[in-house]
Chains A and B, each alone.
Chain A
Amino acid sequence: MSVPRPLRTVALIARREFLSRVRGRAFVISTVVILVVLVGYALFVGSLGAGSSGGRAVAVAPETAALVPALQAVAADQGRTVTVVPVPDDAQGRQRLAAGDVDAALSGSPARPRVDVDQSLSDDLQAILTPATARAAQEQALTARGVDPAVLTTAAAGSAPVVVAARPEDPAQGLRIGLGAVGAFLLFFSIQTYGAMVAQGVVEEKSSRVVELVLATVRPWQLLLGKVLGLGAVGLLQLVILGAVGLAVAGSAGLLVAGVGLVGTLISVLVWYLLGFAMYATIYAALGSLVSRQEDTQSVLTPVSIVVLIGWVVGFNLVLSAPRSPALTVLSLIPPWSPLTMPARVALGGVPVWQVALAFVLTLAFTAGVLLLGGRIYARSVLRTGARVSLRSALRD
């Protein structure tokens, strides 16, 4: 025999875990659900962008027509378009508004126009109207004092602040943040889902008592290792499927920009997944071995689930809102949270190599400790059925 016995046993156990999950309906369903969620997320983000750049239409009464040049100049400055619909009087303007043809109807003095709206003035229209009326008022005042308003326009045309960025923003920053967020989500999802499955499997073996039959020929560490490897492989397969589909969709939508480091991100997500999964799956397996009934599984896993959730929620929000904050840096260096946050930072780019290395080494050391302790707890409590085994008694003697 070429493969040593103990490893062949581990492989047999891993194969059973892998096949029984991959052939199950839950795997297919969860893969499809995540794909839908991710595509939905992309579409949602896309639609937000599309909505903000849409044009507006305003009805303008004859007495307010003097406002139109200022209105269009301000809109052009802001990169927006405003369609002006001239109406014979303010009543007809309100009719066009009621019919839904326009977003607002302007009437009265150009410097202090009345703005009829359906419910409220939209932010972007307000952002155009306010400076436009101010400009109309200034022009009126200048004209009254015999000054040509064109002087003002010429003076304003040349003015602009000159911005010098200390750390110029990456043009692909948005895409990187998106990648980081998606990576963090996938890691969180895989670790939670497949980690919980390890615990469920442990409890199932305990509650069905089959564990005694298996442990009559297999050492506890082999059973634990086989389980973690088998389910870890299921999670990995799902990640690879999602990653491949994601890349294909992004590629066909023309979202792929050269130099964003997609491949690097993918590799870092996979490596951190393996490490994070080994760590959390062992913790979950050890905790699962403390209880004998499926109903008790959740209560024993909750404290760790909360740690994972905190890491993910805080990390995810920091990635979106403050990708360069010290808080995110600290979070990504603390072992239980490194696997959830470091891949997102790597996707964002600009992470010093020493930080990645430090997080990796710390997580590796932490995982080794978890394996040692978790394996011990598992071996001691997996055969103790009945009441929940306390952590202390599982570790004692």
Chain B
Amino acid sequence: MVDGSVLEIDGVSKRYGDVRALVDMGFSVRPGELFGFVGANGAGKTTTMRIVLGVLAADSGEVRLDGRPVDAERRRRIGYMPEERGLYPRMAVGEQLRYLAELHGLSAGDARRSTERWTERLGVAGRLGDEVQKLSLGNQQRVQLAAALVHEPDVLVLDEPFSGLDPVAVDVMSEVLRERCAAGAPAVFSSHQLDLVERLCDRVGIVRDGALVAEGTVDGLRAGAGTDVVVDAPQARPGWADAVPGVVTSRTEGERTVVTLEPGADDQPLLHAALATGPVHGFSRRRTTLTELFRHTVADHPEAAPESPEEAA
């Protein structure tokens, strides 16, 4: 059913008055791929997702599914979780999920079965007859996730799906995401929890000021960003490593110095320089975390993205 679904965002631009929210935004998500979408607040993640769902219209560019522009019919196959959570507060959980499933084109019978299956899976099956507003916030989040999945979508677009979830729900959510991808669905999700993104995603895109500034596997981004070496040389003076060939930056963390080397640079000259300052108690390469990669990417451009009012809305 989902074989071959590719989600492509191609050259999408969007302005709000004088604010350029998206500038030639583009990336594609292959079948069975989990794509992590990270960026500061106001960078354009939510705007991109809203455009994918047709909730907002792009000024230019195109969103394609299976190589065809996304129309109403294709859009029904997308499961969406908006950043601003929302359900009908005075409607019962079961009735609400069935309604949303039917709006996405399921028959009444399929909608009922799917509602039962997902509420069972997400642990809210006992609350089918309760109004949403009577549920705890955690359970409302689970219903929200069920609302994104109840029509058995072939594509997932989830805006901050982990925010506000308890650890158990985070595990369920991660499991569901992996499972949908294993079934061949492309999935995009945005998150500020970069450790989660690093752990879950096949590929990551970093957004800044409405454009994708880095894209690839975490390992690939890491390779491009150079290597961090942690040196424990207590007698070294600040700035001792700056003149060593291959060093990009160095900073002190307590007694230790963290030195970033150019991609592919030899670390032995650094070791010699360290030994020249006195005793060396430690010298180790450190895997760059996504958080550090993200910080580097954003720090390259000091003009931090201002939060546009539309993004906050």
Could you list which residues of chain A lie within 8 angstroms of chain B, going by C-beta atoms?
5-6, 9, 12-13, 16, 20, 204-205, 208-219, 383-386
Instruction: Give me 22 A-to-B residue pairs in the complex whose CB atoms sit less than 8 angstroms apart, sorted by A's number.
Output: A5-B73, A6-B72, A12-B102, A12-B103, A204-B89, A208-B86, A208-B88, A208-B89, A209-B85, A211-B86, A213-B86, A213-B87, A215-B55, A216-B53, A216-B80, A217-B75, A217-B103, A219-B72, A383-B55, A383-B56, A385-B84, A386-B309
Is B299 an interface residue, CB under 8 A from the partner?
A: no
What's the count of A-B pairs with C-beta under 8 Å?
64
The 4 closest A-B pairs by CB, nearest first: A209-B86, A210-B86, A216-B53, A209-B84
Measured CB to CB, the closest approach of chain A to B17, in angstroms, equals 10
Question: What B residues does A13 contact at CB under 8 A?
Answer: 103
Q: How many angstroms between the C-alpha atoms of A212 and B47 in the bound complex?
A: 12
Is B142 an interface residue, CB under 8 A from the partner?
A: no
Question: What A residues does B89 contact at CB under 8 A?
Answer: 204, 208
Which of chain A's residues has its CB closest to B133's CB? Answer: A208
Instruction: Evaluate contact between A5 and B78: CB separation under 8 angstroms.
Output: no
A216/B55 contact (C-beta < 8 A), A20-B91, A208-B89 known: yes
Question: What B residues does A212 contact at CB under 8 A?
Answer: 50, 55, 82, 84, 86
**Which of under 10, 10 to 19, 20 to 34, or 35 or more describes the interface residues of B?**
20 to 34
Question: What A residues does B54 contact at CB under 8 A?
Answer: 215-216
Measured CB to CB, the closest approach of chain B to A389, in angstroms, equals 11
Q: How many angstroms between the C-alpha atoms of A23 and B99 in the bound complex?
A: 16
Q: How many angstroms between the C-alpha atoms of A6 and B88 in the bound complex?
A: 22
Question: What B residues does A20 contact at CB under 8 A?
Answer: 90-91
Q: Which one of B75, B85, B309 contacts A216 once the chains associate, using CB atoms below 8 Å?
A: B75
Q: How many angstroms between the C-alpha atoms of A9 and B91 in the bound complex?
A: 18
Is B104 an interface residue, CB under 8 A from the partner?
A: yes
Which of chain A's residues has its CB closest to B147's CB? Answer: A213
Instruction: Evaluate contact between A213 and B80: CB separation under 8 angstroms.
Output: yes
Question: What A residues does B99 contact at CB under 8 A?
Answer: 12, 16
Instruction: Evaluate contact between A213 and B100: CB separation under 8 angstroms.
Output: yes
Q: How many angstroms between the C-alpha atoms of A216 and B312 in the bound complex?
A: 18
Interface centre among A212, A216, A218, A219 (most CB of B within 10 A): A216
Instruction: Evaluate contact between A213 and B82: CB separation under 8 angstroms.
Output: yes
Instruction: Evaluate contact between A208 and B87: CB separation under 8 angstroms.
Output: yes
Question: What A residues does B84 contact at CB under 8 A?
Answer: 209, 212, 385
19 more contacts with CB within 8 A, not counting A208-B88, A210-B87, A217-B72, are A13-B103, A16-B99, A20-B91, A204-B88, A208-B86, A209-B84, A209-B85, A211-B86, A212-B84, A213-B86, A213-B147, A214-B103, A215-B54, A216-B54, A216-B80, A217-B104, A219-B72, A385-B313, A386-B313
Question: What B residues does A386 contact at CB under 8 A?
Answer: 309, 312-313
Q: How many angstroms between the C-alpha atoms of A209 and B313 in the bound complex?
A: 10
Q: How many angstroms between the C-alpha atoms of A384 and B50 in the bound complex?
A: 13
Question: What A residues does B45 contact at CB under 8 A?
Answer: none
Is B105 an interface residue, CB under 8 A from the partner?
A: yes
Which of chain A's residues has its CB closest to B91's CB? Answer: A20
Interface centre among B50, B55, B313 (most CB of A within 10 A): B55
Which of chain A's residues has its CB closest to B148's CB? Answer: A213
Measured CB to CB, the closest approach of chain A to B55, in angstroms, equals 5
Is B180 an interface residue, CB under 8 A from the partner?
A: no
**B144-155, CB under 8 A of A: which get 1 and which 0?**
000100000000
Q: How many angstroms between the C-alpha atoms of A20 and B312 in the bound complex?
A: 31
Is B76 an interface residue, CB under 8 A from the partner?
A: yes
Measured CB to CB, the closest approach of chain B to A25, in angstroms, equals 12
Q: Which residues of B56-88 have CB atoms within 8 Å of chain A's CB atoms?
A: 56, 72-73, 75-76, 78, 80, 82, 84-88
Question: What B residues does A384 contact at CB under 8 A?
Answer: 313
Question: What B residues does A216 contact at CB under 8 A?
Answer: 53-55, 75, 78, 80, 82
Q: How many angstroms between the C-alpha atoms of A208 and B42 in the bound complex?
A: 22
Question: What B residues does A6 contact at CB under 8 A?
Answer: 72
Which of chain B's residues has its CB closest to A218's CB? Answer: B103
Measured CB to CB, the closest approach of chain B to A127, in angstroms, equals 61
Measured CB to CB, the closest approach of chain B to A215, in angstroms, equals 5
Q: Which residues of B28-58 have CB atoms within 8 Å of chain A's CB atoms?
A: 50, 53-56
Question: What A residues does B313 contact at CB under 8 A?
Answer: 384-386
Question: What B residues does A218 contact at CB under 8 A?
Answer: 103
Q: Which residues of B192-217 have CB atoms within 8 Å of chain A's CB atoms?
A: none
Question: What A residues does B80 contact at CB under 8 A?
Answer: 213, 216
Q: How many angstroms between the C-alpha atoms of A204 and B132 in the bound complex?
A: 14
Question: What A residues does B82 contact at CB under 8 A?
Answer: 209, 212-213, 216
Which of chain A's residues has its CB closest to B82's CB? Answer: A212
Instruction: Evaluate contact between A9 and B87: CB separation under 8 angstroms.
Output: no
Q: How many angstroms between the C-alpha atoms of A384 and B84 in the bound complex?
A: 12
Measured CB to CB, the closest approach of chain A to B178, in angstroms, equals 23
Which of chain B's residues has its CB closest to A210's CB? Answer: B86
Question: What B residues does A12 contact at CB under 8 A?
Answer: 99, 102-103
Question: What B residues does A9 contact at CB under 8 A?
Answer: 103
Measured CB to CB, the closest approach of chain A to B93, in angstroms, equals 13
Q: How many angstroms between the C-alpha atoms of A32 and B65 in the bound complex?
A: 53
Question: What B residues does A5 contact at CB under 8 A?
Answer: 72-73, 105
Which of chain A's residues has its CB closest to B53's CB? Answer: A216
Question: What A residues does B53 contact at CB under 8 A?
Answer: 216
Q: How many angstroms between the C-alpha atoms of A130 and B157 in the bound complex?
A: 91
Question: What A residues does B72 contact at CB under 8 A?
Answer: 5-6, 217, 219
Question: What A residues does B102 contact at CB under 8 A?
Answer: 12
Measured CB to CB, the closest approach of chain A to B163, in angstroms, equals 14
Q: How many angstroms between the C-alpha atoms of A218 and B76 in the bound complex?
A: 9
Question: What A residues does B90 contact at CB under 8 A?
Answer: 20
Measured CB to CB, the closest approach of chain A to B130, in angstroms, equals 15
Question: What B residues does A209 contact at CB under 8 A?
Answer: 82, 84-86
Interface centre among A5, A212, A214, A385 (most CB of B within 10 A): A212
Q: How many angstroms between the C-alpha atoms of A13 and B100 in the bound complex?
A: 10
Q: How many angstroms between the C-alpha atoms of A12 and B104 in the bound complex?
A: 11
Which of chain A's residues has its CB closest to B81's CB? Answer: A213
Which of chain A's residues has its CB closest to B88's CB? Answer: A210
Question: What A residues does B86 contact at CB under 8 A?
Answer: 208-213
Question: What A residues does B147 contact at CB under 8 A?
Answer: 213
Which of chain B's residues has its CB closest to A206's CB? Answer: B86
Measured CB to CB, the closest approach of chain A to B50, in angstroms, equals 8
Question: What B residues does A208 contact at CB under 8 A?
Answer: 86-89
Measured CB to CB, the closest approach of chain A to B109, in angstroms, equals 15
